[in-house]
Structure 1
């Protein structure tokens, strides 16, 4: 792709060295296309332009158009936990010491009262103030006089009485919130006593100052443990959203639960977490890693050319761009209908192009990768991916045996039918409405149509731009109506017949070793196309016994014979033949020796000044199996055709002799044929040749003579007409 001399003066030596390193350069191509795919998929995770906020009024209806989805709602789960916690009653425990503390406090208050009562140093006024402070009550003069004059026995009776009332009131469970009622109850009991009002004031004040305590107290620790236990028992709340469900209604207040659902379903993103892009990056790394590993392990021939990597990367990313464009088309305000547009994405076009331009297995893998990418673009709705895989595989299987471009129309029907059927099946599974199913099926049919249009429209361009020879192109070249085939038939009929026979031999041999039989057959048709320029210098095209080589030197004859390769390349280039056919035309003789004229030259000049290199073809040796097969088939067909009375044994001897001569001359050293392949090729040749030259019925002598006379009368010499690729100089037995 890049040459060091082109970069010198424009880039540092390190850059030149990098681009001259095939592995580094091709890895860079993979990185470029990987980043492009990552950026296209990342667009699906960018924040929405219009974001709904909790508590705001919804400006629009929001529907969900994907398949049925169930997710865990954190908000609803938290609500369920709160409800469970609120349902737990407060836990109380008994406080058996509460009554003892109240009784002790009452006794202490009575002691203080007695102490004030007995303290004469305070004086009457001082005692009154002290008692009022102790009781928290205001005493009349009369009440004070009665209380200050009370004896110890009376006070002990009052003490015992109030304690008895309290014990009776606290006999049952008393909680904090019940203390006020208990105190009122005790006060009522005191008021009902048949005693002086002054003593009632005393008892009431002491009860108030004693501060009653509950004998049944709240236990926060036990309550908290019970709450935790109940919360732990709450299962996460699952929310199911079905296709066509309205998530938000226009004019209503947006709730936190609705925001959560929108964010989970990918219908709203206020911001995108960096972890999302990290995960997406890892996903694309995995998929590209699988593709690169597959190519390196199972299709290394793809990795050998930058153009193949560029082709795969372009098809992948252009398909993703098309998917993004079609997926953004708004066909309805109802999301469940709008989502059906994803079924129209023609990923099958990429599947067909890869299958036609490369191979079926690579196309299958790329179809799976694209289906996964579509799943990401549709927020994990794998139903779309499934339809893509099914449609893509059908497309691949249908184009595997493609013979004419017009057949792509039939393939589009198959893709549309299968895609529509798959959409209907899934629609029934997910209980979608007939309208949604019908629109989805229509999109599936449109998918097939678009896939066919894209494939037919781009295939010729891709073939030309990337120098790829497809089976469709080869089949077009094999047509007898091709201009060059017509010229060959009319201007060099012997060569035409020879080329057809070579094609038969080569095709059988290619099938035997698993080579490209179609390429071999078409290459055989055109391998000698250069003979059109000087047809009569080749034996098979000479109608009479006169041989033009008798009038020129062996060196000039050799130049004319060798030039048919150069002439053939020029003709093929004029008709824009693919590179593979040009290679076949150039290499089908390799650098082999034109032995007949070489030996004739040595005999004429006694071998002085004669160089073998001057009598060799100036071309590369066969670089692949297909060209090697054509070389062998070409030589074998000409040699066997020139035999006087070919028999099964003599044919085999001749075939093995020709193959051995090519091996000994090193013509097969640059291709990857094995000895097992060569033996299989020989056996395939023998099957075809034995069928062509099978033994015939012996006619009576008289009939045979009459038939021979008839042939001579018609001016046809059978033996002479069957010689191929030979100049009729001398005995004309040497194959060129």
Structure 2
């Protein structure tokens, strides 16, 4: 066995879940490989005082801490100091001077009362006593001597005047710089208004000056809080993402060089952070995509083949965008607008389903934001995210359910129109000055994107359908063409069966669409479900025109063998013509394992004994899908209603429900997902459709021919 055959065998043995995981891992590797060049950090090769070869933009937003600290210091220096006035200062200082005079007067009086004693105190001792009574250490010994020698009346006069001058002076807001000025004013006032001995006058002046102090002082806490507030309100100095640090042709000054180094544009060694970030980005996308597709309501139709097709379509779309991203280096304005991203979304819609296409549209938009980040201010180009997402969704939603070629062309035109609107929206929001030529080029590229997407979709669809044997809407419409060789054969060789198939197709499509199944699959399957009758057309009653029934001349066992063979004869013919498996399944399964009741009863009557039912049952399989089950119901209903001589709504509804009940009790719906509610809906829909076909008509009286 060759290695290639061994690989194919291993792949065939892989479960759908394992295959899906492996394919998504493969897709993740492909996406990572395509995006890795777009996250590699940009560096510039410049030296101090060299000329910049181009406009150099900052790739990140970063704070210049030294400049911020300098700016904060300047802001703090501009805050004026906050001073507070001490309202208690006039009373406090006046009281201190008054207490000094009182202490001296008391010591003098004490000394006079002890004159007869020999323990007279010296001047130093008296000064020590005064210091023990009041806190006024700045008074000179000469001043103390003059005070102790002064009379009691002079002391009282000096005390009162001194207190008054101090109190009056301290009522002003006196800063440290103004103290000397106010002291001189007080001295002048004392010398001009007070008549005292010279020595005492000097002492009074000294006491007064000593008690005139600064009462308008710096409030440290409030000043500190104000400066801190100024620092907090200072905006940090930052280099913003996308900001041009050095323009083309400008000299790289030391300051600019420092900024380039700060934002990492001078780093020769690339860090691992961008690649780790890209890995996490791709991982999030893959896990999200896997989960959303796993939860798809159509996941039972997801096979290894369809998963592989999906990976190919996604890879193709990303590859197209990657090739356009290389052209972005040509410096053509808005070249990325020409990427045919909508082609992938439209083909996913036509070959798989709409939900998957919508999910993939978001995936393409996120990948495009990284693929086309050249010249962008950041890692992600969110303008392209908007453009790609809206374009993909417009193509997917405009296609609708019937994917005729004309519909695909219209969808491409609609995508082109939406692209133009998106481009205009992006340009207007940027509020930049664009020339008419620039705008025209970008709008033209947007139009071209829509048309290229249509061409790619129309060109690749047949090839992909053939390779993967996908039953797309386009393929179904092609198969429903009456000129198909098998349908032409059915029309010519079994016209009654052809008419019956057309009626069944109408009924089956209506029934399937009423329960959310694929009506087009049911219609096309109904066209071909009785193709096996062309092998022996006259053994089926709808083709017996003006002829005897051949079943009247043969045994019921042979009749049943001929009738039972038609689904499998049809299956062989459909396989020869390479029709999709879904159509072949409907042909094989539309009778399930039901009983040929007429020939079974006829055989029992002829033999007069019990005969095994299995000899008169179709070998199956039973209906595996809702479409096969509904085609089988429509097949039986159409034949039964056609046999009614005068069909009425009541009779039609009764026979429909009888056929459904019999098939249900016979277990024909055991292997498909039809619910009781859906069966009731199908019954109502078939009844309404048949009542429209077999409505009553007016009988016109015959007109006699006039001679």
> With structure 2 as the length reference, what TM-score do the two structures score?
0.70
Partner of residue 346 from structure 1, selected from 340, 345, 348: 340
Cα distance, 1:671 vs structure 2: 0.8
> Given that residues 560 and 596 in structure 2 are in contact (C-alpha distance below 8 angstroms), is that contact kept between their aligned partners in structure 1?
yes
Residues 119-518 of structure 1 correspond to what in structure 2 (within 5 A)? 234-239=234-239, 248-250=247-249, 252-253=251-252, 257=256, 270-299=268-297, 301=299, 304-330=302-328, 332=330, 334=331, 337-338=332-333, 340-377=334-371, 378=373, 379-430=379-430, 431-434=432-435, 435-518=437-520
| More displaced 10-residue stretch of structure 1: 542-551 or 582-591 | 542-551
Distance 1:34 1:18 in 2: 22
Cα distance, 1:447 vs structure 2: 1.0
1:687 equivalent in alignment to 2:688:
yes
Paired position in structure 2 for 1:582: 584
> Given that residues 506 and 523 in structure 2 are in contact (C-alpha distance below 8 angstroms), is that contact kept between their aligned partners in structure 1?
yes
Q: 1:233 to 1:648 in 2, by over 3 A?
A: closer
Paired position in structure 2 for 1:202: none
Q: Deviations over 1:286-313 (max 9, x none)?
A: 2222222222334352674223332332
1:645 equivalent in alignment to 2:646:
yes
Cα distance, 1:633 vs structure 2: 0.6
Paired position in structure 1 for 2:164: none
Paired position in structure 1 for 2:118: none
In the alignment of these two chains, the number of paired residues is 554
| More displaced 10-residue stretch of structure 1: 577-586 or 32-41 | 32-41
Distance 2:26 2:645 in 1: 64
Distance 2:75 2:650 in 1: 102
Cα distance, 1:229 vs structure 2: 9.7
> Given that residues 509 and 685 in structure 1 are in contact (C-alpha distance below 8 angstroms), is that contact kept between their aligned partners in structure 2?
yes
Distance 1:425 1:34 in 2: 33
Q: 1:328 to 1:247 in 2, by over 3 A?
A: farther
Q: 1:78 to 1:652 in 2, by over 3 A?
A: same
Paired position in structure 1 for 2:116: none
RMSD: 3.9
Distance 2:596 2:46 in 1: 87
1:55 equivalent in alignment to 2:48:
yes
> Given that residues 383 and 426 in structure 2 are in contact (C-alpha distance below 8 angstroms), is that contact kept between their aligned partners in structure 1?
yes
> Given that residues 593 and 621 in structure 2 are in contact (C-alpha distance below 8 angstroms), is that contact kept between their aligned partners in structure 1?
yes
Distance 2:640 2:696 in 1: 18
> Given that residues 557 and 616 in structure 2 are in contact (C-alpha distance below 8 angstroms), is that contact kept between their aligned partners in structure 1?
yes
Distance 1:365 1:628 in 2: 31
For structure 1, list consecutive stretches of 5 or more residues without a partner in the other structure.
Answer: 90-172, 174-224, 707-736
Paired position in structure 2 for 1:730: none
Paired position in structure 1 for 2:34: 40
1:654 equivalent in alignment to 2:670:
no
SS of residue in 2 equivalent to 1:676: helix
Q: Deviations over 1:534-578 (max 9, x none)?
A: 211211111123122234333332232222212222332233322
Partner of residue 543 from structure 2, selected from 541, 544, 560: 541
> Given that residues 296 and 355 in structure 2 are in contact (C-alpha distance below 8 angstroms), is that contact kept between their aligned partners in structure 1?
no
Cα distance, 1:635 vs structure 2: 0.5
> Given that residues 365 and 385 in structure 2 are in contact (C-alpha distance below 8 angstroms), is that contact kept between their aligned partners in structure 1?
yes
For structure 2, list consecutive stretches of 5 or more residues without a partner in the other structure.
Answer: 78-176, 178-224, 374-378
Distance 1:470 1:331 in 2: 38
Distance 1:475 1:240 in 2: 56
| More displaced 10-residue stretch of structure 1: 456-465 or 387-396 | 456-465
Distance 1:362 1:268 in 2: 44
SS of residue in 2 equivalent to 1:328: helix
Distance 1:664 1:389 in 2: 50
Distance 1:593 1:488 in 2: 25
Q: Deviations over 1:100-155 (max 9, x none)?
A: xxxxxxxxxxxxxxxxxxxxxxxxxxxxxxxxxxxxxxxxxxxxxxxxxxxxxxxx
> Given that residues 316 and 344 in structure 2 are in contact (C-alpha distance below 8 angstroms), is that contact kept between their aligned partners in structure 1?
no
Cα distance, 1:527 vs structure 2: 0.9
Residues 600-615 of structure 1 correspond to what in structure 2 (within 5 A)? 600-607=602-609, 610-615=611-616
Q: Deviations over 1:674-721 (max 9, x none)?
A: 111111111112112222223344566xx59x9xxxxxxxxxxxxxxx
Distance 1:258 1:488 in 2: 83
Cα distance, 1:670 vs structure 2: 0.7
